[in-house]
Amino acid sequence: MSIRILAIEDEKPIADFLIRGLTEEGYQVEHAPDGQSGWLALQQQTWDLVLLDWWLPGEDGINLLKRFRTRNRTTPVLFLTARDGINERVNGLDAGADDYLTKPFAFEELLARIRALLRRPTQSDSLHLEFSDIKVDLARQSATRAGEPLDLTAKELSLLIYFLRNPHRVLTRTRIYETVWDENFDGLSNTLEVHVKELRRKLEKLGPRVISTRRGQGYILEESSTCSDA
């Protein structure tokens, strides 16, 4: 039996993209274009996973999620947020979302998140990210390395979360900028470098380097044994 996904999304181009892409991947997708029809679909049928937009006509995603969680704790919910604002993400996770994705997103990343959520045995396991001895608790918005707390700013934490979600992949400065800063990268600012430097400094107080620079390309999160640059 195929996996059933409910997509609650009012923007037609995004909804069409989700329905087409996920159907091609073998998922059975139903679409609800607003809060009311989304709520009906949540009540009347069971789903393996729910994709939930933040801003919806009728009832917005966060209220829908809160109501849904009062009666269903286990169905994974992936939040689609339009901005990478930390408050939205925290509110979404607090309201019971298992994960979130910031628009615009790459379809490949959406698929990876869906696979990960469908693999997860319980909700409580889904609120953590890990790489080597680094851990992030998404619900608490806190991070540790080797069991020691990391005192990160909100931006450094967002940056670390982005690296942890994309290990062993070169992340271009443009991509990081657009995802973590939610702004267009002008190619001149050194803001990103400053934050990476500070994040590294804090991480490296507790262990070896894990964020490498790939000259002319960007950054990559990798095991310290393969981490080569200074």
Instruction: Catalog residues that contact Ca ion under the rule CB under 5 A.
Output: 10, 53, 55
At residue 212, the 3 state secondary structure works out as: strand
Q: How far is the CB of 164 from Ca ion (least distance, A)?
A: 27
Q: Nearest to residue 138, comparing CAs of 150, 153, 128, 149?
A: 128
- Beta carbons of 123 and 98 less than 8 angstroms apart: yes
Residue least distant from Ca ion (Cβ): 55
> Nearer to Ca ion by C-beta: 53 or 99?
53
- Per-position DSSP letters for 115-156, written without gaps between them: HHHHH-SSTGGGGEEEETTEEEETTTTEEEETTEEE---HHH
Q: How many CA atoms lie within 13 A of 66 on its CB side?
A: 9
> Nearer to Ca ion by C-beta: 62 or 159?
62
Q: How far is the CB of 11 from Ca ion (least distance, A)?
A: 5
> Nearer to Ca ion by C-beta: 59 or 109?
59
Q: How far is the CB of 82 from Ca ion (least distance, A)?
A: 7
Classify residue 111 by its DSSP letter: H
> Nearer to Ca ion by C-beta: 51 or 164?
51
Q: Nearest to residue 78, comparing CAs of 44, 42, 54?
A: 54
Q: How far is the CB of 142 from Ca ion (least distance, A)?
A: 30
Measure the CA–CA gap between 114 and 160, rounded to whole angstroms.
21
Q: How far is the CB of 24 from Ca ion (least distance, A)?
A: 23
> Nearer to Ca ion by C-beta: 55 or 105?
55
